[in-house]
Structure 1
């Protein structure tokens, strides 16, 4: 998982990986409310939980009631700023922080001589990973290979202008850009909370926060990726369905761990 973001055989959806989510929403025929959730409060009787979800939409306040709520956003130290009300025990932010990474997408000519290759044609790398060296201003460099139906698959040659993805701890300054690239046309910079700051003392949060209140992003504290998020989402969907319809034999299956080990 630690190398997943820098491997050379990664694939992406043309138009952006976000299209996976938007098309899944269309297939599910959901009623999507594009708003920022501000709070989730517990209502209802002891035998049946009912959740009031408050949100802000176009500077106006709104609320809705739901039988089942799934939180698909990180709840660690103010990452989401969603408050939970009327819960006992209280639901608070989990301990732990996310690691920020600067992603720079650069269209230009890589300076192969900086890596010891005076002739760009002899430069053999599509991805460059670094270790924790002092005074090194980047973590990794990767050639983003375009793939489309008309042109097929062709990686740009080192002497050609290509799209490069550079991970760093701080935004690259002009001198650093000129060190890595002979020349460049454009630079796009994104500062994002890439993945949790892993620590042996931090535990993985529960997937169940309360009756019919579920949490997807806790799995990031085991490993963080789109694939892991999909695994967590499927688990939550199955768990919430089986609990709602009281298919308890599907939840606490006899000899479940034995079955898993056998299949593996």
Structure 2
């Protein structure tokens, strides 16, 4: 099982380097706003501070304490889905109170990646091409070595592609995305770019630090308390999170409606193998 998980992680990591990739017109953020609109969900923009179980029937309810832009309050919920990593390095800010046995922090850490968006002229001489017109690559990927200070450099296309759009040529000023393990210092920016107009830097916990002996955390942490981000230990991508979200939605629905025959299906693995 561990070998299979490692293979899946590697395959997911290479997905973005393949041909014939799809993109969302207008940007990936429209996936979230589109789902909210389709679901007709009531979005409450707040920071969740704590989750506590309250027992009054067969299954617990959950009291969520949260802070909005104007106040701190709490509400009771029958079903809670946690869609944020619970590893200490991510610092979700959520505290679990009153659980028996008490919740421990999930093992592992997330990998910190720095994304630097640069509008400027790529220094193709750095990559062995003194004449930028001869530079044939839209992206450059690297392996992890002490001598290389960045992970990748790629030309970025706008999220809205107009008719007649063409990718900027290396001799022209373009927008580039640089991934690196640490923030780039000025000397490193000057090494990668002949000159530039603007630089935007974002540091984020991109994906889990993977290992061959990792297991996957449970999908259900407590009755009707579900955890989505555990699937990232198998592979971290929007598509993987979508799979986890659909599975949890189905599981929560069938559990709530006592459709136990739809939860633990004895012949499920056999039917999946047959379909494959």
* TM-score (structure 2 length as normaliser): 0.90
> Is the 8 Å Cα contact of residues 6 and 140 (structure 1) preserved in structure 2?
no
SS in 2 for 1:148: coil
Partner of 1:237: 249
Q: For each residue in 1:179-234, what CA deviation from the matched residue of structure 2 results, as whole angstroms up to 9, or x when unmatched? A: 11111111110000000111233321100011111000111111111111101000
Pick from 91, 107, 124: which aligns with 2:136?
124
- Equivalent pairs, count: 264
Relative contact order, higher structure (CA 8 A, sep 6+): 2
Partner of 1:52: 63
Partner of 2:78: 67
SS in 2 for 1:176: helix
> Is the 8 Å Cα contact of residues 83 and 227 (structure 2) preserved in structure 1?
yes
With over 3 angstroms needed to count, the CA separation of the structure-2 counterparts of 1:178 and 1:71, relative to structure 1, is same
Pick from 151, 154, 157: which aligns with 1:139?
151
Partner of 1:20: 31
Pick from 87, 90, 98: which aligns with 2:102?
90
Q: How does 1:31-50 map to 2 (within 5 A)?
A: 31-45=42-56, 47-50=58-61
Residue 252 (structure 1) aligned with residue 264 (structure 2): yes
SS in 1 for 2:218: coil
How many angstroms apart in 1 are the aligned matches of 2:271 and 2:179? 41
How many angstroms apart in 2 are the aligned matches of 1:8 and 1:188? 27
Pick from 40, 45, 48: which aligns with 1:29?
40
Shift of 1:249: 1.4
Shift of 1:174: 1.2
Partner of 2:229: 217
Partner of 1:154: 166
SS in 2 for 1:20: helix
Residue 171 (structure 1) aligned with residue 183 (structure 2): yes
Residue 109 (structure 1) aligned with residue 157 (structure 2): no
How many angstroms apart in 1 are the aligned matches of 2:16 and 2:207? 11
How many angstroms apart in 1 are the aligned matches of 2:52 and 2:253? 22
How many angstroms apart in 2 are the aligned matches of 1:127 and 1:175? 21
> Is the 8 Å Cα contact of residues 87 and 107 (structure 2) preserved in structure 1?
yes
Q: Please state which structure has a larger fraction of its residues in strand.
A: 1
Q: Give ranges in structure 2 of 5+ residues lacking alignment.
A: 1-11
SS in 1 for 2:88: coil
Residue 195 (structure 1) aligned with residue 207 (structure 2): yes
SS in 2 for 1:158: coil
How many angstroms apart in 2 are the aligned matches of 1:254 and 1:203? 23
* TM-score (structure 1 length as normaliser): 0.93
Over the residues paired in the alignment, what is the CA RMSD in angstroms? Answer: 1.8
> Is the 8 Å Cα contact of residues 105 and 166 (structure 1) preserved in structure 2?
yes
Return 4-13 or 172-181, whichever deviates more.
4-13
